[in-house]
């Protein structure tokens, strides 16, 4: 039986293409698969497979320091997401709706935190909080304030960019139609603009949430001596030895991040299908 010849666009049937794909997947996912697999390894050390167990998950959940760090991380992520989403959406609206002097400059400056190396942001934040004499030793939720401010500052541009992209496709006549039917500017905003922006807001918020949840560098520089977040805590545990407990905790974080990203993509996809 003669094989059909490979068409010009049938890349997936070419050997070199398949090899490249395979190599890419191995490089991308082998470390993660190893991490997840070894979180179930019944051994103190992370080198040889000694059988399946879930005891390190139990141990991780029983580690009160780790849990405290996890709660801190979630609190920071939630609060900074809310603030970043509102701030980012308003920024996007401002850039979409108005013309003002140096608008291009402002737009560039606003997006700077996306491109600035995190280490520089971290150092800058450290210097800033030291300079203004940000109080330390505050009671619990307030003790996170410096980290939250830092997180908002690097995540709101992401929200702004996403929402701004969504607004570019807005039909101004929708707002005018609402106004024509009797809606005040405020009602036009709530009844027409917000529903239109919603997919962008959700995607932006999830982005901000995941960015905040796994941020290490900036948090490391801005956290005080007695506030520890999950990534910082994991780092300090790894300094002694990489135990399956660390693997287990990391796996939980990976699952959380993947699920949230999945939700974001799904909502985006659903909206696209609706509007086409």
Instruction: List the structure tokens of 132.
Output: 């203004």
**Binding-residue total with other proteins (CB under 8 A):** 19
Phi/psi of residue 142, nearest 5 degrees: -70, -25
Does the protein bind other proteins through residue 181 (CB under 8 A)? yes
Minimum CB distance to other proteins, residue 274 (Å): 6
Cβ(40)–Cβ(53) under 8 Å? yes
* Least gap, CB of 34 to other proteins (angstroms): 45
Cβ-based nearer residue to other proteins, 145 or 179: 179
Burial of 140: CB neighbours in 10 Å, binned 0-12, 13-18, 19+: exposed
The residue within the footprint of other proteins, chosen from 174, 252, 254, 260 (CB under 8 A), is 174
Is residue 196 within the footprint of other proteins (CB under 8 A)?
Answer: yes
Q: Tell whether residue 67 is a contact of other proteins (CB under 8 A).
A: no
For the chain, what's the residue count? 276
| Residue among 62, 108, 195, 262 that touches other proteins (CB under 8 A) | 195
Residue for token pair 């760090």: 69
Binding piece for other proteins, criterion CB under 8 A, among 43-51, 107-115, 156-164, 169-177 = 169-177
d(CA 264, CA 211): 13
Draw the binding track, 116-155, toward other proteins (x: CB under 8 A; -: no contact): ----------------------------------------
Whole-angstrom distance, CA of residue 142 vs CA of residue 136? 9
Calpha distance 236→216 (Å, rounded): 12
What would the two tokens of residue 37 be? 């697999």
Establish if 99 lies at the interface with other proteins (CB under 8 A): no
Q: Out of 12, 182, 225, 239, point to the residue binding other proteins (CB under 8 A).
A: 182
Closest CB to other proteins among 88 and 199? 199
Q: Which stretch binds other proteins (CB under 8 A): 17-25, 27-35, 180-188, 244-252?
A: 180-188
- Tell me: does residue 184 bind other proteins (CB under 8 A): yes
CB of 79 or CB of 193, closer to other proteins: 193
User: Would you count residue 226 as binding other proteins (CB under 8 A)?
Assistant: no
Considering only residues 246 through 275, tell me which ones interact with other proteins, judged by CB under 8 A.
274-275
Q: Smallest distance from the beta carbon of 206 to other proteins, in angstroms?
A: 20
Tokens of 246: 């660390």
Query: In this structure, what token pair is assigned to residue 147?
Result: 């980290």
- Contact between 12 and other proteins by CB under 8 A: the answer reads no
Alpha helix (H) ranges present in the chain?
Answer: 15-38, 55-62, 64-97, 103-110, 112-115, 118-132, 140-143, 145-167, 172-180, 185-188, 194-213, 217-222, 230-240, 244-275
Residue 119 contacts by C-beta under 8 Å, 6 or more apart in sequence? 217
Contact residues: other proteins, CB under 8 A = 171, 173-174, 176-184, 187, 191-192, 195-196, 274-275
């Amino acid at each position: 039986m003669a094989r059909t010849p490979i068409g010009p666009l049938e890349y997936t049937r070419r050997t070199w293409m398949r090899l490249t794909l395979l190599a890419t997947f191995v490089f991308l996912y082998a470390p993660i698969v190893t991490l997840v697999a070894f979180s179930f390894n019944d051994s103190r050390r992370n080198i040889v497979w000694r059988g399946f167990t879930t005891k390190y998950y139990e141990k991780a959940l029983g580690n009160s320091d780790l849990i405290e760090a996890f709660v801190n991380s979630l609190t920071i992520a939630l609060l900074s997401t809310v603030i970043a989403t509102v701030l980012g959406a308003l920024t996007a609206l401002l850039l979409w709706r108005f013309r003002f002097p140096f608008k291009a400059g402002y737009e560039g400056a606003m997006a700077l935190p996306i491109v600035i190396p995190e280490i520089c942001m971290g150092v800058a934040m450290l210097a800033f909080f030291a300079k203004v004499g940000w109080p330390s030793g505050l009671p619990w939720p307030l003790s996170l304030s410096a980290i939250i401010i830092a997180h908002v500052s690097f995540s709101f541009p992401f929200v702004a960019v996403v929402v701004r992209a969504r607004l570019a496709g807005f039909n101004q006549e929708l707002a005018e139609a609402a106004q024509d039917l009797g809606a005040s500017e405020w009602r036009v905003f709530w009844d027409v603009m917000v529903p239109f922006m919603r997919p962008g807001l959700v995607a932006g918020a999830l982005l901000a949430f995941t960015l905040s949840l796994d941020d290490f560098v900036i948090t490391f520089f801005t956290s005080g001596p007695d506030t520890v977040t999950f990534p910082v805590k994991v780092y300090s545990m790894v300094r002694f030895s990489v135990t399956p407990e660390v693997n287990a905790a990391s796996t939980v974080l990976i699952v959380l991040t993947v699920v949230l990203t999945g939700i974001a993509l799904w909502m985006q996809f659903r909206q696209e299908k609706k509007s086409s």
